[in-house]
Chains A and B, each alone.
Chain A
């Protein structure tokens, strides 16, 4: 359930990253999107944990933004949680 501030959390599977530079590119670009408050990308687990404003983003739109960067993104654990 989103809380009063509209914050949601989602973990997306990201394929195609091989180094720290890939991780930084994603964290930098997705983290700079309006409505994205926090992003943590893990190279070891091939995923991205994102905290976002649910009025501006959805797990689908975030996955699309990552796909747009040239990585394969799946809604592996798309259950939104506060």
Chain B
């Protein structure tokens, strides 16, 4: 299992809540670091799938790399 690091442009609890809800639907383990605008996802899914899911929130998302 790989942990992937993403930058997600979150500014508040509402933003991180939205990210939480879309990731819950994907059924993966994840950790959100709101102050640093980072999301760590533990998954073997393709990074494109994870990126697409995070982008559903309408926020700017970039893949940083495996942790």
Report the minimum CB–CB distance from A20 to chain B (whole Å): 8
Q: Answer whether A25 and B59 are a contact pair too, CB < 8 Å, given A18-B13, A18-B14, A70-B17.
A: yes
Report the minimum CB–CB distance from B24 to chain A (whole Å): 9
- A29 on the interface (CB 8 Å rule)? yes
Report the minimum CB–CB distance from A25 to chain B (whole Å): 4
Give the residues from 4 to 30 in chain A that come closer than 8 angstroms, CB to CB, to chain B: 16-19, 21-22, 25-26, 28-29
- B66 on the interface (CB 8 Å rule)? no
What number of B residues sit within 8 Å (CB to CB) of A?
17
Interface string of B1-36 (1 = CB under 8 A from A): 000000001111111011111100000000000000
- Residues of chain A contacted by B18 (CB below 8 angstroms): 16, 22, 25, 69-71
- Residues of chain B contacted by A22 (CB below 8 angstroms): 12, 14-15, 18
What number of A residues sit within 8 Å (CB to CB) of B?
14
The reply to whether A70 and B22 form a contact with Cβ atoms under 8 Å apart is yes
- A68 on the interface (CB 8 Å rule)? yes
Interface string of A60-75 (1 = CB under 8 A from B): 0000000011110000
CA distance A4 to B22 in the complex (A): 37
Report the minimum CB–CB distance from A32 to chain B (whole Å): 9
Report the minimum CB–CB distance from B60 to chain A (whole Å): 10
- B47 on the interface (CB 8 Å rule)? no
